[in-house]
Structure 1
Amino acid sequence: MKLLDPILWVAAAGSALLASASETVDQSTLALENAITAASNSSLLWGPYRPGLYFGVRPRIPKSLMTGLMWANVDDYAHFKDLRHSAEQGDDVRGFGWVEYDARSGGRQVINDVGMSVKIETEFVKVEGGDKGGNWGVRIRGTPIEGAPEDVRTTLIFYTGLEGQGQLHLDSDLETDGIEGTVLIGGRTPDLGDFKVEITDGPKTNVHPVINHDAAAEKDIQKTQYVGANLMEDTLWRAKDLILQQISAAVQSASQKYGENDMPPPAQIFTLPNTGVVSGNFQAVQKTFEGSFEFDVLYTSRSAPQAMTSGGLGERIEEIKTAFRARFDEVFPLKAPFDKEEYVSFARELFSSLLGGVGYFHGTSLVDRTHHDEDSENFWESSLSTPRSPQEEGPTTLFTATPSRCFFPRGFYWDEGFHLLPIGLWDNDLSLEIVKSWFGLVDEDGWVGREQILGSEARSRVPADFVVQETRYANPPTLMLAVVAFIERLDQQANVGSEPSFNFQDGNGIGLSGGGIENEMLSSAHIEHPTLATTYLNDLYPILKRHYDWFRRTQAGDIKAWDREAFSMKEGYRWRGRTPDHCLTSGLDDYPRARPPHTGELHVDLLSWMGLMTKTLRVVAEKVGEEDDVAELKRVEEAIIRNIDDLHWNEEEQAYCDATIDEYEESVHVCHKGYISLFPILLGLLSPESPHLGAVLDLMRDPEELWSPWGLRSLSKKDEYYGQGENYWRGPIWIPIQYLALSSLYKNYINTPGPNQEKAREIYTELRQNVVENVFNEWKRTGIAWEQYDRETGEGSRAKGFTGWTSMVVMIMAETYK
């Protein structure tokens, strides 16, 4: 990774002015693209990109430096076995996440650890400078939680590991009883160059336990404890196992020496051995405190003009906090009745946790490219009984947001488009970087895996049945939402006609922050400089088209064979990967479909997604001048919209329904009213003048069908499968569907004249109030954003810390539907 020094960037601008007029444009454009890319890479190089951990910093470089934090209560012998490291669903933590966070500068995270009786805060900041990504630091604070003793004892372990080429070495004097003062770890890698990591003692107010036991003569826990090792690089992520192994040995040794009746206090015995390899690829240090505490971890790149210091860290923390709050109010101005301070704090935390859940992943995938037959009778039975033939592919990398750090700390195609809507409003170019990363995984056929489980660390968090990705399976193409939102922002900027906030060609208006272009400028560079947007879309279009063609080819349904009447004999689709109880590929998992599955099925939600996908590709084709494609895509788009009515409207049920083939070999509708019945309106494919719009709105508003005081139920209360089986998408309330409903009502039906305009407005107003209030109240009650909300009580359920698409509540509060 080559990062362009800002001085060279300015020099490039000056040299471009000396060329001829036409050459100046070309050279300036190229230099601008290179400069923006380099500056953006620098600002995004470091981050807490190990979202599966409570806190772990790494760069966006494969096989490089990785760090992590662990802690435990050491008041007794019971707690240490639950040493915190990876965020786990079962941890007794009353909420955790970032309360202010920007991906280019840093922010503050709060972890309310009830089980360990401590509130942990991590304040992470970045300072750019030099050609290796600059410096970073984290201030780690702890205070006893409410109700805990003021002298609660906490031990913390911070480690550094190196996966690839390079070296780490302890540069502090190591005694048998610990390390006095600041701990210094030096290192070097080909990509990062020389660097140092300092772990400070912190302020004098820190208190370490005083141990009255003979064992205190062996280890002085007023000092920092240490262990170093050389590990296999693919096992570095299992740092917790190494630590527990080391400390288990210490406990066993103490037990043999002192006996059961004279064991040292836990704070003394649960300590690292102060031995190991001082030049190994794994270095860990441990500090033990009594009551409140604070210390810093400071990373300094040799290429940076200044070293990272505790004073500089403190100043930067305050700057970031102030800047974040001001910018948040500008990007997400909450609208009544949610413009009160308690909602603002809630919104900041929800959005910050979404951004703080962005991760960088690198590793191999397990992929099955065997094409099982899904066009024969009882196809699902043979599919289930045929052994998989997975092959390890890659390695590949992915830069992505994650749904839940404690339950789903990996990339999900179905979720990602929703994640990128609020992220794109905050930082357009960050969202484009993530879109580019995802489409970089599209293979030659146009397929991309639904779940990105890259490497052994990611695999360790996934049930075996879900690890292998199959190339015949699709997922809702929500990334189209992010692409459309980008183009809308681009068009809006063009209509405003304002000057760029920094102008490359004349060298004026260049903001400097730590030696680089201002982060806020980087976040909108592709909006303010159309040449960058054109290049981006030109690069994206062929991949997008290949992906679209894969969908049309592999998920095609059969219209002709069953004598169905429709405007188009081509535009009908069915999800592959069906079983009698599941359609995991649809993203709606156990939502009821036809029983048994049939090769003649047509799915209304997939046809709707194909409508969105076609529209998106058409809009991009218009931007890049692919006129022949534009004409063809317009025809397909019209055919899809016509076929939604022709193939899926059921007059008797007054609803959009799936279609299947009955025992008489005739096409019939399978009407399980719920989310799939809403997709034509959710994705804006239903005209305000549609004769069916009123019935769909009535279905939404009927309390005996989908309406509840907490949001729209996923399945009708009248359906035979309501609340049955797994009850995953059979009634519970899901935020992304609430968002799609509110967004479409707001953009397509409230502000457009039509016979149902007032009805749409009433539904919108009440639904918005219900959804926001429920998520907010559950957050206040539990400290957590949840994966779904109960259909009868509104209580949060399933995965906790679900600050992925649940964070879209922030957009609902601000009424920023993009």
Structure 2
Amino acid sequence: MFYTATDGQGVMEPVVEGNRMLQIEGKTEELGDFSIKFPRAKNTKKSNYLRTYLPSLHIAKEVVLRSMKYYQFGQKHMLGLVGDILSQSQFSDYEPNLLVHQVTMALPFEIDIAFESGSYKDRTASLLGMDFTQYLNNYLSSFDNRFEHVFQLKQKGFKEKEINFAKATLSNLIGGIGYFHGKSIVKSKYTDEPVEYWEAPLYTAVPSRSFFPRGFLWDEGFHNLLISKWDPTISKEIIGHWLDLMNVEGWIPREQILGTEARAKVPAEFVVQYNENANPPTLFLPIQSLMTGMMTSNTAEDQTFLKLIFPRLKVWFNWFNTTQIGNVPTSYRWRGRDTETNKELNPKTLTSGLDDYPRASHPSDDERHIDLRCWMTLASGVMKDIAKTIGEPYKDYENTHSILSDNSLLDKIHWSNKGKQYSDYGNHTDHVMLERPPTPIPKQQKPGPKKQPVPKPNVPKPPMLRVIKSKNGPNYKFTNALGYVSLFPFLLQIIEPSSDKLGKILTDIKDSKLLWTKYGLRSLSKSDPLYSKYNTEHDPPYWRGQIWINMNYLAVRALYHYANVDGPHQQQAATTYKELRTNLINNIIKEYERSGYMWEQYNDLTGRGQGSHPFTGWSSLVILMMAENY
């Protein structure tokens, strides 16, 4: 089935012969006049079509399913669309906004579908058959040449099937870039109830076109690390769109659920965005990467881009430094944790992007989050570099970056001598578990007059609740959960190459009882009490051991950095870099060949892909690992 729809404007009509749609003629404001042609293909057994009107596009699937009936085909029955239902319905006065072309074919088959714009006058023949094949081959050759020029995988010795995997992965990430339009639903301290924000467009990539078909702020920074290497212009456009979603205070909604179609895919409890809650400012990663390229080009276009984004980045940076600061100077704290819940083993920190990664067991205003402090270190450094490049005042950013980069100050508020690791700080105990309260016993009913047995009442079990298994309860201390969060000073390359703490981190990384696996670094140490634990009885572990490619990319990138700067740990970093990079690339390709998919995460014990799929979002960063393009 080939769906064609207009969303709110434009007209289109099918050209039909019997049950077969030959082509569609249409016109929209953006496209002008156009036609879509469906030439008959070999091996076609039957053709059907649908012409109808939808009050909202997000119900297209349900409408199509209800618009099918069984047809007799030889000795078989098959499902086919019923044709023009619009003219026979109560909506006969409406223009069609959904047309579906259906063909039933014998395998194997090929089918041509040609979109032709009325504005194109020079082509003498339709882009079909050999004419299309010739154009396609020219573009394929151009793509292959450009791909090798950018990533140089042949030069690095990768085999053809491995390069084809990388091409498919890049193509799916780029193909997942979409243009969305709608309003966010936002709750702020200024409103009693959630309200609609202004109507806005968003040009963005998505983590998964089928499962997460919308923009996510912290994902998009990782997406554009790769997109910016392929086409910097696309990345600049995407970054500009995201920054245009900023409100007057400097807040950007972390999840973009724009329009009814996007909203239909999201559970109700996640639709409302809270404008005091942050999300990792990962857009600074591709901006930093773009600036590296600008060092050599330094064109007027580059300067214009930086001058356009700088005012918004300035407001965004200031918003973080007024709403997300901690009680201790130079500390930061993610807002949005539930301080009242007793149903979660460890209250989630959705705003950090690392959902159920263990934080202080009892959220409080006195928490200090190491990962957010490191994000702000990165951000202050990029702000300093942009300001210097475009001639804006930069001393305040330079001073902030100098303070946040000071390893002795970082160690003072985040190094745990007991755990010998960087750590969050807060009101915490490891001695927690989920237990189910006793099921209440209802009053026994009296037997009836004939002494019939009384049925046992069906009493639902109460939900499992968190209980503290320590007489002392929680107290203020370092949480000492070894994993991605504790690695952040290393992941964002804040630790000095000469630091003995870098050596400790490199040792912990290579310990298979802690973080090391044959498939990548697990998100949480096997020694942690919450490793692989459910957060509620129905909420499986998410960042509690699983291997995530965005964090592993940062680890590989950091190892590459420390392997190429002088220091006592240079050789250890170089050896670990080679092993981790190889493990990640081999496992991701192996799972792609096994399943046909890129995956959201990978199992730390078996390496098998798991979570949503296809997930050609930040998992596609494996291409940059293959290219060693950091």
Same fold per superposition (TM over 0.5): yes
Deviation, 1:545, is 0.6
Deviation, 1:315, is 1.7
State how far apart, in whole Å, the 2-side matches of 1:730 and 1:402 are: 24
Q: Tell me, what secondary structure is at the counterpart of 1:318?
A: helix
196, 202, 213: which one pairs with 2:35?
196
Q: Tell me, what secondary structure is at the counterpart of 2:607?
A: coil
CA contact (8 A) 2:592 2:598 kept: yes
Report what 1:551 is aligned to.
320
627, 630, 634: which one pairs with 2:398?
634
Give, as a single letter, the amino acid of the residue that structure 2 aligns with 1:778: E
Q: Tell me, what secondary structure is at the counterpart of 1:477?
A: coil
Map residues 586-605 of structure 1 onto 2, 5 A cutoff: 586-605=352-371
Report what 2:104 is aligned to.
288
RMSD: 2.3
254, 260, 284: which one pairs with 1:456?
260
Report what 1:754 is aligned to.
567
579, 582, 592: which one pairs with 2:348?
582
Give, as a single letter, the amino acid of the residue that structure 2 aligns with 1:636: T
Deviation, 1:665, is 11
Deviation, 1:265, is 3.2
The gaps in structure 2 that reach 5 residues or longer are 339-345, 429-471, 535-539
Q: Give the structure-1-normalised TM-score.
A: 0.66
CA contact (8 A) 1:592 1:721 kept: yes
The alpha-carbon distance between structure 1 residues 658 and 338, as it changes in their structure 2 partners (threshold 3 A), is farther
Map residues 105-124 of structure 1 onto 2, 5 A cutoff: none
**Counterpart check, 1:272 vs 2:82:** yes
Give, as a single letter, the amino acid of the residue that structure 2 aligns with 1:447: W
Map residues 344-363 of structure 1 onto 2, 5 A cutoff: 344-363=163-182
Q: Give the structure-2-normalised TM-score.
A: 0.85
State how far apart, in whole Å, the 2-side matches of 1:670 and 1:353 are: 39
Deviation, 1:742, is 1.0
**Counterpart check, 1:324 vs 2:137:** no
Report what 1:521 is aligned to.
none
**Counterpart check, 1:302 vs 2:118:** yes
CA contact (8 A) 1:371 1:472 kept: no
**Counterpart check, 1:245 vs 2:66:** yes
Report what 1:705 is aligned to.
514
Report what 1:612 is aligned to.
378
CA contact (8 A) 2:52 2:84 kept: no
The alpha-carbon distance between structure 1 residues 456 and 274, as it changes in their structure 2 partners (threshold 3 A), is closer
**Counterpart check, 1:737 vs 2:556:** no
CA contact (8 A) 2:317 2:379 kept: yes
Q: Tell me, what secondary structure is at the counterpart of 2:612?
A: strand
Deviation, 1:705, is 1.3
Q: Tell me, what secondary structure is at the counterpart of 1:183?
A: strand
The alpha-carbon distance between structure 1 residues 700 and 164, as it changes in their structure 2 partners (threshold 3 A), is same
Report what 1:770 is aligned to.
583
CA contact (8 A) 1:335 1:815 kept: no
Give, as a single letter, the amino acid of the residue that structure 1 aligns with 2:34: F
Give, as a single letter, the amino acid of the residue that structure 1 aligns with 2:82: L
Deviation, 1:743, is 0.7
State how far apart, in whole Å, the 2-side matches of 1:453 and 1:488 are: 32
Aligned sequence identity (%): 38
List structure 1 segments (4+ residues) > 6 angstroms apart after TM superposition: 662-666
Q: Tell me, what secondary structure is at the counterpart of 1:188?
A: strand
Report what 2:285 is aligned to.
481
Deviation, 1:699, is 1.4
Q: Tell me, what secondary structure is at the counterpart of 2:525?
A: coil
Deviations 1:88-139 (A, max 9, x none): xxxxxxxxxxxxxxxxxxxxxxxxxxxxxxxxxxxxxxxxxxxxxxxxxxxx
Deviation, 1:367, is 1.2
Report what 2:456 is aligned to.
none
Report what 1:780 is aligned to.
593
Report what 2:497 is aligned to.
688
167, 186, 190: which one pairs with 1:367?
186
Deviations 1:626-656 (A, max 9, x none): 12xx111111112112332221012232210
CA contact (8 A) 1:414 1:450 kept: yes
Q: Tell me, what secondary structure is at the counterpart of 1:197?
A: strand
Map residues 60-459 of structure 1 onto 2, 5 A cutoff: 157-170=1-14, 172=15, 174=16, 177-179=18-20, 183-202=22-41, 206-209=42-45, 221=46, 224-232=47-55, 235-247=56-68, 250-251=69-70, 265-267=76-78, 270-274=80-84, 276-277=86-87, 280-306=96-122, 308-310=126-128, 311-334=130-153, 339-370=158-189, 389-459=193-263
State how far apart, in whole Å, the 2-side matches of 1:741 and 1:418 are: 13
Give, as a single letter, the amino acid of the residue that structure 2 aligns with 1:701: K
Map residues 487-506 of structure 1 onto 2, 5 A cutoff: 487-493=291-297
Report what 2:457 is aligned to.
none
Deviations 1:547-605 (A, max 9, x none): 1111111111001xxxxxxxxx2x11000011342111111111111111111000000
Q: Tell me, what secondary structure is at the counterpart of 1:767?
A: helix
Report what 1:38 is aligned to.
none
Q: Tell me, what secondary structure is at the counterpart of 2:158?
A: coil
Deviations 1:749-800 (A, max 9, x none): 1111111111111111111111111111111221111111112121111111
CA contact (8 A) 2:218 2:280 kept: yes
CA contact (8 A) 2:156 2:627 kept: no
State how far apart, in whole Å, the 1-side matches of 2:581 and 2:50 are: 53
CA contact (8 A) 2:54 2:60 kept: no
CA contact (8 A) 1:368 1:390 kept: yes
CA contact (8 A) 1:199 1:298 kept: yes
The alpha-carbon distance between structure 1 residues 304 and 706, as it changes in their structure 2 partners (threshold 3 A), is same
State how far apart, in whole Å, the 1-side matches of 2:50 and 2:598 are: 37
Q: Tell me, what secondary structure is at the counterpart of 2:380?
A: helix
CA contact (8 A) 1:158 1:284 kept: yes
The alpha-carbon distance between structure 1 residues 760 and 208, as it changes in their structure 2 partners (threshold 3 A), is closer
Deviation, 1:734, is 0.8
Report what 2:301 is aligned to.
532
The alpha-carbon distance between structure 1 residues 608 and 700, as it changes in their structure 2 partners (threshold 3 A), is same
State how far apart, in whole Å, the 1-side matches of 2:352 and 2:283 are: 15
State how far apart, in whole Å, the 1-side matches of 2:289 and 2:541 are: 33
Deviation, 1:231, is 3.0
The alpha-carbon distance between structure 1 residues 654 and 457, as it changes in their structure 2 partners (threshold 3 A), is same
Deviation, 1:661, is 4.7
State how far apart, in whole Å, the 1-side matches of 2:334 and 2:609 are: 29
State how far apart, in whole Å, the 1-side matches of 2:106 and 2:320 are: 59
Q: Tell me, what secondary structure is at the counterpart of 2:629?
A: coil
